[in-house]
Chain A
Amino acid sequence: MSILTTVYDVTLAPFVDFGFMRRALVACIALGLGSGPVGVLLMLRRMSLVGDAMSHAVLPGAAVGFLVAGLSLPAMGLGGLIVGLAVALLSGLVSRTTAVREDASFASFYLTSLAAGVLIVSLKGSSVDLLHVLFGTILAIDQNALYLIAGISSLTLVLLALIYRPLVMECFDPGFLRAVGGRGHLYHVLFLLLVVLNLVAGFQSLGTLMAVGLMMLPAVAARFWAVSLPGMMFSAMLVAFLAGIVGLNISFHTGVASGPTIVLSASGIYLLSFLFGRLGIVRQRLSRPHLAG
């Protein structure tokens, strides 16, 4: 009985006793629902680092929102969305019209954005404000922020369901999709919109520097558990949920910052998946007799 009580105290009690912990948990679950599948598609499109660059690109927009309205998620989110999308589209335009590859043009734009964002925040805010924007404040999420995050996750799932077929075709065989008249660029842009939206949802919780953490780490971990695309998406969601629960608990009990702890929990799950996942290294190295044909 006492063991059960201890387990309850350690794992569930923080969420039962404190509203801010419940809101943080719901935010993590909502983030995982949207960011998990988007991260899997980013990884499969070999754009994992582009996601990271985009998360930095959100910063100047968020900073302008901060200058105008203070620490208000809708204002910062809207600013982040506009600048994030602009960077994504401009990077794509530069790489399509010049010899510069897409990753290089993303790098140029995101470095510019990051520097501009930090400069803008420092114009008005204190270093504490800057830390909020860079590293997030998941424990300070209020009702409105939660609605915004949940709204973005819902929109992500609906839009992904609607464009799933052409998006998969565009990842797998873009020439074929164009040849059958499937307007690949449209789906690419819609997908980039989803990436930026989910990064905006993530930056209140995890900050612009780590918003991509709950997008990419669960996606890469999912590679060690599933072989089908829906399976990977589902696994990525589960890893994100788990990282949220574990990270929030560790943060609550040890008093360390919650955002980095959640991302480090996702890293821990990635490491365990790499070692012990269904397609992980240990299972592969297990000496089993080969099959006859």
Chain B
Amino acid sequence: MSCPDLKGAPIHLENLTITYQRHPAVHHVTGSFEAGSLTAIIGPNGAGKSTLIKALTGNMAASEGRIDRAGMSASRYGYLPQAAEVDRSFPLSVFDTVAMGDWHRLGVFGGMKRQDVARALDALDKVGLGGFEQRRISELSSGQFQRVLFARLLLQDAPVILLDEPFNAIDERTTRDLLTLIRHWHDHGRTVIAVLHDMSQVRQCFPQTLLMAREAIAWGPTEEVLQPHHLKRANMMEESWRQDAHACELHEEQA
């Protein structure tokens, strides 16, 4: 599987806090995703993993702190949303879905040229769906649909790729194929960040890990992060907000 080199960009989080109705989903997180790194974000439900990904895409504003994208616009990031956020019953063809990845080149009005069509078909070939271009997305299995979204990512050709639970409800073969694609992106210097739940996947394929429980419990080489005491601390996080929570002291100190 070929993939052109495209230097990934670093992302630095500085005291990042993101809230829902004043309750923090991501709380005072500081650290860096290095350029070209391959990082898994893990943590229990409600740990703020997807919220962090949404903030990185620019879909959620920081309540406090900042995200330094090293001069790159968030709109140039590749983004795979959670399957539940996409309407799979929408009457679209596989080709039209993949072609959305060309938005940064085509915008609202641009027409697809012959080479754009060829690139979209090539992306479909690379995810093993050559010949599926005219099928309706509603006819696809979950695994095939996830391959279509990966083909859209290929077409985005982004230096930074954000994946929100890419292997939910996906069989082993599809997961293996898509993990190969992720490794290729990493091998070719792109920055890849994925929200995951499967610890063995993280251990085998992701050199860096960010363990979250709203705050960053640990962030660094995977083997160091996945220590029992870190995991125990993350699992002790209360899943719901405390209704009687007082104002954050760190916030007060900075104010």
Give me the interface of A with B, judged by CB distance under 8 Å. 44, 162-163, 165-166, 168-169, 171-182, 226-229, 231-232
A33–B94 Cα gap in the complex (Å)? 28
CB-contacts of B70-119 with A (<8 A) = 73-75, 77, 79, 81, 85-87, 90-93, 96-97, 100, 103-104, 106, 108-109
List, in ascending order, chain B residues with CB within 8 A of A176's CB: 79, 81, 86, 100
A44–B86 Cα gap in the complex (Å)? 13
Residue of B nearest to A172 (CB): B90
Count how many chain B residues have C-beta atoms less than 8 Å from C-beta atoms of the other chain: 28
Which of B54, B106, B109 is the one whose CB lies under 8 Å from A175? Answer: B54
Q: Give 4 new A-B contacts, CB below 8 A, not counting A174-B85, A229-B90.
A: A168-B90, A173-B87, A179-B162, A181-B104
* CB within 8 Å for A179 and B59 given contacts A172-B92, A227-B91: yes
A180, B93: Cβ atoms under 8 Å?
no
A163–B109 Cα gap in the complex (Å)? 8
A179, B57: Cβ atoms under 8 Å?
yes
Give me the interface of B with A, judged by CB distance under 8 Å. 54, 57-59, 73-75, 77, 79, 81, 85-87, 90-93, 96-97, 100, 103-104, 106, 108-109, 136, 156, 162
Task: Please give me the 6 A-B residue pairs with the lowest Cβ-Cβ distance, nearest first.
Answer: A181-B75, A179-B57, A179-B79, A175-B81, A172-B90, A180-B103
* CB within 8 Å for A229 and B73 given contacts A175-B81, A182-B103: no
* CB within 8 Å for A181 and B73 given contacts A172-B86, A228-B93: yes
List, in ascending order, chain A residues with CB within 8 A of B92's CB: 168, 172, 229
A175, B75: Cβ atoms under 8 Å?
no
B85, A173: Cβ atoms under 8 Å?
yes
List, in ascending order, chain B residues with CB within 8 A of A44's CB: 87, 90-91
Residue of B nearest to A183 (CB): B108
A226–B91 Cα gap in the complex (Å)? 9
A173–B84 Cα gap in the complex (Å)? 10
List, in ascending order, chain A residues with CB within 8 A of B57's CB: 175, 178-179
A241 to chain B, nearest CB (A): 21
Residue of A nearest to B86 (CB): A173
B87, A179: Cβ atoms under 8 Å?
no
B85, A178: Cβ atoms under 8 Å?
no
A175–B54 Cα gap in the complex (Å)? 8
List, in ascending order, chain B residues with CB within 8 A of A163's CB: 108
A44–B92 Cα gap in the complex (Å)? 11
A35–B185 Cα gap in the complex (Å)? 45
Residue of A nearest to B54 (CB): A175
List, in ascending order, chain A residues with CB within 8 A of B97's CB: 172
A165, B73: Cβ atoms under 8 Å?
no
B201 to chain A, nearest CB (A): 23
Residue of B nearest to A168 (CB): B92
Residue of A nearest to B60 (CB): A178
Of the A-B pairs whose beta carbons lie under 8 Å apart in the complex, a sample of 21, sorted by A's number, is A44-B91, A166-B108, A169-B103, A171-B90, A172-B97, A173-B81, A173-B85, A173-B100, A174-B85, A175-B57, A175-B59, A175-B79, A176-B81, A179-B59, A179-B79, A180-B104, A181-B58, A181-B73, A227-B91, A228-B136, A232-B91
A229–B79 Cα gap in the complex (Å)? 25
A285 to chain B, nearest CB (A): 20
